């Protein structure tokens, strides 16, 4: 049996919680992703704990608890400034919505609990002594770098259809391959993804798209027809098939969405609807629209100084990133150098504002806005000094 001698701090800090459960006569283990990431030497975000204690028994043992998912056996324990999700060993049944179980049965057996998990590499547990409990050959699959469903993959995906997206997401993040029978089960059941909320699909899609192995995972996403069951991708596999052959993988969510939109050849007026269909935020949508607009501009011609000013540094750098990924030639150094040398980078750096214009006799209304824009453009283009006296003289010349 494999044993970890030296545990990272995230485990040692949580150890008293498990020891308290054990001293009360219960079993307790670290389970799931934290154990997998420990063995892969990856960053661990948080630890999950599974126990034979029932939720009420967990609550009796610890002073501060929150009923975060007590119906499904999960209690959050607040201990020593940290919060830990502690879940009772359980089995699940009756997944009528292909996502959440209709019935949860608490059990006293770790094997029954691990058996319901999605993939073998996530069905690992670790005891307080650092011993790894591996009942489904998860260690072997970790070594082979393979994503394999626990037991029958068809059953796993009927229990929770989102697991099919999680399969390609883990492929991308861990740089693993998808085991043959598991991949076949995804192909055979891809339509079940339509039962899952877009928000959950989007989260997995973005993680897949931003992983180091995203191009290989995206190929499986297309091959298994998962792409046919997500918003606005149906019938677009030919256009999307360029993604696996991109030069690099995107590392920013806005870059990912911009690349997808460019590959789909969506006209600008349809970008907003596409982003809403995927339940993206208004802020993300706005950034993506601006990146695609900037990408189109750079593909067509060299932007003016005032256009660079309006684009802004963040969008410019993001667009250069997208262009590199898509293999679109842009002189990024020249663009960045030009932007850096602009006399002002944002409107707030202009020494005057609308009130100054009113003081100079410009009437409030459309004319004032137009004059402000003209002044900005002249200053950005180095045709007008950014000083009150120079701008005052310019206004007088315009009247």
Shared-domain flag, residues 320 and 251: yes
Percent of the chain with pLDDT strictly greater than 70: 96
Q: For residue 356, what are the domain limits?
A: 347-398
Shared-domain flag, residues 150 and 102: no
Q: What are the C-alpha distances in Å from 130 to residues 39, 47, 83, 109? A: 11, 14, 21, 19
Q: What is the pLDDT of residues 202-211, one digit of tens each?
A: 999 999 999 9
Confidence of residue 187 (pLDDT cuts 50, 70, 90): very high
Q: What is the pLDDT of residue 289?
A: 98
CATH code, 329: 1.20.58.560
Residues 312-322 have a mean pLDDT of: 96
Shared-domain flag, residues 233 and 270: no
Q: In the chain, how many domains are there?
A: 4
Is the pLDDT at 39 greater than 90, yes or no? yes
Shared-domain flag, residues 132 and 1: yes
| Of 155, 127, 150, the residue nearest 35 (C-alpha) | 127
Confidence of residue 105 (pLDDT cuts 50, 70, 90): confident
- DSSP H/E element including 308: helix 305-311
Shared-domain flag, residues 320 and 355: no
Shared-domain flag, residues 306 and 365: no
CATH code, 118: 3.30.460.10
Q: What is the pLDDT of residue 70?
A: 80
Shared-domain flag, residues 336 and 351: no
Alpha helices in 24-176 (DSSP H): 33-39, 55-61, 110-115, 138-144, 153-159, 162-174
Last residue within a domain, chosen from 113, 138, 163: 138
CATH code, 215: 1.10.110.30
Whether the pTM exceeds 0.95: the reply is no
Is the pLDDT at 256 greater than 80, yes or no? yes
Query: For residue 217, what are the contacts with CB-CB under 8 A and spacing of at least 6?
Result: 168, 169, 171, 172, 208, 211
CA–CA separation, 236 vs 233, rounded Å?
5
Is the pLDDT at 174 greater than 60, yes or no? yes
Shared-domain flag, residues 28 and 18: yes
> Which stretches of the chain are assigned E, i.e. beta strand?
28-31, 48-51, 64-69, 74-79, 82-88, 90-93, 103-106, 124-126, 132-134, 146-147, 177-178
Shared-domain flag, residues 52 and 123: yes
CATH code, 373: 1.10.246.80
Is the pLDDT at 147 greater than 60, yes or no? yes
Last residue within a domain, chosen from 207, 227, 245: 245
Query: For residue 133, what are the contacts with CB-CB under 8 A and spacing of at least 6?
Result: 29, 110, 114, 124, 125, 126, 127
Shared-domain flag, residues 120 and 22: yes
Last residue within a domain, chosen from 90, 121, 138: 138
Shared-domain flag, residues 228 and 280: no
Q: What is the pLDDT of residue 221?
A: 98
Confidence of residue 23 (pLDDT cuts 50, 70, 90): very high
Shared-domain flag, residues 338 and 263: yes
Q: What is the pLDDT of residue 102?
A: 53
């Amino acid at each position: 049996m494999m044993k970890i001698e030296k545990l990272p701090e995230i485990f040692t800090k949580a150890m008293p919680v498990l020891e308290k459960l054990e001293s009360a006569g219960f079993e307790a283990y670290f389970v799931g992703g934290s154990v997998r990431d420990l063995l892969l030497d990856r960053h661990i975000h948080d630890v999950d704990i599974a126990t034979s204690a029932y939720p009420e028994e967990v609550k009796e043992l610890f002073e501060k608890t929150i009923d975060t998912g007590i119906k499904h056996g999960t209690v959050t324990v607040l201990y020593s400034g940290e919060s830990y999700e502690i879940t009772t060993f359980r089995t699940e049944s009756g997944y009528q919505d292909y996502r959440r179980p209709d019935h949860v049965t608490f059990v006293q057996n770790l094997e029954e609990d691990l058996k319901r998990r999605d993939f073998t590499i996530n069905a690992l547990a670790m005891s307080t002594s650092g011993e790894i409990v591996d009942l489904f050959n998860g260690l072997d699959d970790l070594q082979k770098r393979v994503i394999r469903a626990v037991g029958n993959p068809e059953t796993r995906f009927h229990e929770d259809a989102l697991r099919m997206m999680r399969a390609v997401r883990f492929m991308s993040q861990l740089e693993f391959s998808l085991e043959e029978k598991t991949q076949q089960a995804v192909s055979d059941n891809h339509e079940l993804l339509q039962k899952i909320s877009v928000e959950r699909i989007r989260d997995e899609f973005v993680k897949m798209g931003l992983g180091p192995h995203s191009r290989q995972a995206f190929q499986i996403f297309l091959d298994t027809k998962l792409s046919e069951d997500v918003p606005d991708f149906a019938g677009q596999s030919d256009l999307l098939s360029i993604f696996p052959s991109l030069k690099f993988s995107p590392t920013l969510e806005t870059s990912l969405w911009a690349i997808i939109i460019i590959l789909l050849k969506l006209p600008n007026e349809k970008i907003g609807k596409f982003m809403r269909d995927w339940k993206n935020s208004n802020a993300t949508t706005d950034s993506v629209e601006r990146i695609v607009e900037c990408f189109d501009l750079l593909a067509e011609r060299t932007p003016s100084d005032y256009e660079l000013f309006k684009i802004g540094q963040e969008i410019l750098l993001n667009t250069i990133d997208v262009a590199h990924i898509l293999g679109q030639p842009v002189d990024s150094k020249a663009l960045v150098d030009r932007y850096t040398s602009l006399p002002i980078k944002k409107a707030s750096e202009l020494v005057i504002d609308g009130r100054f214009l009113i003081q100079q006799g410009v009437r409030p209304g459309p004319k004032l806005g137009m004059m402000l824009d003209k002044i900005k453009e002249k200053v950005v283009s180095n045709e007008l000094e950014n000083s009150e006296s120079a701008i005052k003289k310019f206004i007088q010349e315009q009247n």
